[in-house]
Amino acid sequence: MDINEYISSGILELYVYGSLTDEESREVTSVLNQFPEVRTEVEEIEEVLRDLSATIAPGNAENLIHAIKRKLGNSSKTIVMETRKTNNLPMYIGWAASILFLMGLFFMFNKNQELRGELQALQGEKAQMESQIADARSDADKTKELLSVIRDKDIIKVPLAGQAVAPDAYATAYWDKATNTAYIDVKDLPEPPRGMVYQVWSLKLEPLTPTSIGILDKYEEDENKIFALDNTNLSEAFGITLEPAGGSKSPTMEQLYALGVVSS
């Protein structure tokens, strides 16, 4: 190694500044331990830098030594306390963290239970809503069907006027000859007493021959009180009587509620 070249490279100044890496500094140290001229060079660089920085100092540092020495005794105590603090801190943090974690777990568990309950309630509500929608849809379908029947020009509308037992009552029969169906609207008949049902008759007038076309035993369940009944007869009139539950073979004429003739 050319020592003069090494010295003049400027590496020794950087060494004193402390701007070399650890590895580079160790190398320089081993060189100056081998070559006294390198050591002398480093000592001179250090001396000029100490002189330069001492010149910049804003005052005399000499008197501060007493203040510092007083603090030296205390500082060892402070350091013990500090290390104790830093040793305990992670432990406290650890405990605090695990307590928070447990609290968190309980909170999450409760929350979970709560949400489960809510979910079940919502599922129940949903099922209810679904069945309501299905009902509404089937009602709507039925209404649509009835509406189309009533509007159909091929349907024969037969008003059935209230009779002696119920003068204010009336009913209507819509007779579709094409499908052999009679739709009986009994919305304006009084509600049948318990144990009794309305029975619908197709009548031939000459001679008077009644034929039962149906018993309105679903009266209470049906919302719009319109019943579709099969009617294959060549009806000349329709009548409605009140009969004991299950219906009768022939109409009880004293309990004739409504009667109307098919206009031809």
Partner 1 sequence: MQQDKLIEELQSGNEKAFSRIYELYSQSTYGIIFGIIKDAAISEEILQDVFIKIWNNASSYNPEKGRFFTWVLNIARNASIDKIRSKDFKNKKLNLKSDIFVDILESKSNFFGSIDAIGLQKYIDILGPTCRKLIDLLFFQGFTQKETSEELQMPLGTVKTKNRVCIDKLRAKVL
**Where on the chain is the footprint of partner 1 (CB under 8 A)?**
8-11, 13-19, 22, 25-26, 28-30, 42, 44-62, 64-65, 67-69, 71-72, 75-76, 79
Alpha carbons 31 and 20: distance in angstroms, whole number = 15
Place of tokens 């024969």: 156
DSSP state of 62: T
Which residue's CB is nearer to partner 1, number 62 or number 168?
Answer: 62
Which residue's CB is nearer to partner 1, number 65 or number 234?
Answer: 65
- Give one DSSP letter per residue of 110-122, joined into a string: HHHHHHHHHHHHH
Alpha carbons 239 and 186: distance in angstroms, whole number = 11
**Minimum distance from CB of 4 to partner 1 (Å)?**
13
**Minimum distance from CB of 1 to partner 1 (Å)?**
17
Which residue's CB is nearer to partner 1, number 3 or number 140?
Answer: 3
Alpha carbons 223 and 136: distance in angstroms, whole number = 12
Please check whether residue 262 is in contact with residue 236, taking contact to mean a CB–CB distance below 8 angstroms.
yes
Which residue's CB is nearer to partner 1, number 33 or number 98?
Answer: 33
Which residue's CB is nearer to partner 1, number 42 or number 226?
Answer: 42
Q: 3-state DSSP call for residue 141?
A: helix
**Minimum distance from CB of 47 to partner 1 (Å)?**
7
Alpha carbons 264 and 236: distance in angstroms, whole number = 8
**Minimum distance from CB of 85 to partner 1 (Å)?**
16
**Minimum distance from CB of 55 to partner 1 (Å)?**
4
* Burial class of 200 by CB neighbour count within 10 A (0 to 12, 13 to 18, 19+): buried
